[in-house]
């Protein structure tokens, strides 16, 4: 990441995934510790920032969320270029959303190679009774593409901190 005068390194993280899987909810839970039961159409800024410390090193994460463009296939390389990390989100009750994650992984690896750290979030883990995406399969897939996988619940605040902090750890190790 880019170094600032105060020794804080900046890292860009993009959220990708189908509409309604909980991307905005994950960002708002991590940055502001909030949750809303309704779909949040946009956040005011195109990205939110959060300062974190990993192994005593200070990082500023700029976390970019989409404002619904994912539905119109309108997200191009401009959105994710210069990213150090990506969080690919699916809904554990929606197999199709996991397929979309795989499309994004292919695209990111093709465009950015190994330079980008990838986290895959199986969100809505509070709805595990309705799970249709097999956890072991998802974890194996993540390993196969050099990513890591975590189940998360933005609603119950499970796995969210670990998701972003593990990604931060990886991004730091890559630089």
Applying CB under 6 A, the residues found at the interface with ligand GDP are 19-25, 36-40, 123-124, 126-127, 153-155
Q: What is the DSSP secondary structure assignment for residue 117, as one 8-state letter?
A: E
d(CA 74, CA 61) in angstroms, rounded, equals: 24
Decide whether 101 or 167 has the Cβ nearer to ligand GDP. 101
Decide whether 89 or 117 has the Cβ nearer to ligand GDP. 89
To the nearest whole angstrom, how small is the minimum distance from the Cβ of residue 82 to ligand GDP? 22
Decide whether 25 or 62 has the Cβ nearer to ligand GDP. 25
The residue count for binding Mg ion (CB under 5 A) is: 2
d(CA 175, CA 172) in angstroms, rounded, equals: 5
To the nearest whole angstrom, how small is the minimum distance from the Cβ of residue 31 to ligand GDP? 13
The only residue of 24, 62, 83, 153 in contact with Mg ion, by rule CB under 5 A: 24
CB 151 within 8 A of CB 159: yes
d(CA 97, CA 103) in angstroms, rounded, equals: 10
Contacts of 41 (CB under 8 A, 6+ apart): 67, 68
């Amino acid at each position: 990441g880019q170094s600032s005068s105060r020794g804080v390194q900046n890292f860009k993280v993009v959220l990708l995934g189908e509409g309604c899987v909980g991307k905005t909810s994950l960002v708002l839970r991590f940055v502001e510790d909030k949750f809303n039961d309704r779909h949040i159409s946009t956040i005011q800024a195109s990205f939110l920032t959060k300062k974190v410390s990993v192994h005593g090193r200070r990082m500023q994460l700029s976390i970019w969320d989409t404002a619904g463009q994912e539905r119109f296939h309108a997200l191009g390389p401009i959105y994710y270029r210069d990213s150090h990390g990506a969080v690919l989100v699916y809904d554990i009750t929606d197999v199709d959303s996991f397929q979309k994650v795989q499309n994004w992984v292919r695209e990111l690896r093709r465009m950015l190679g190994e330079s980008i750290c990838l986290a895959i979030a199986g969100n809505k883990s509070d709805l595990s009774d309705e799970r249709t995406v097999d956890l072991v399969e998802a974890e194996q897939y993540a390993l196969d593409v050099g990513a890591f996988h975590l189940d998360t619940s933005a609603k119950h605040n499970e796995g969210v901190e670990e998701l972003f902090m593990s990604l931060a750890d990886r991004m730091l190790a890559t630089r």
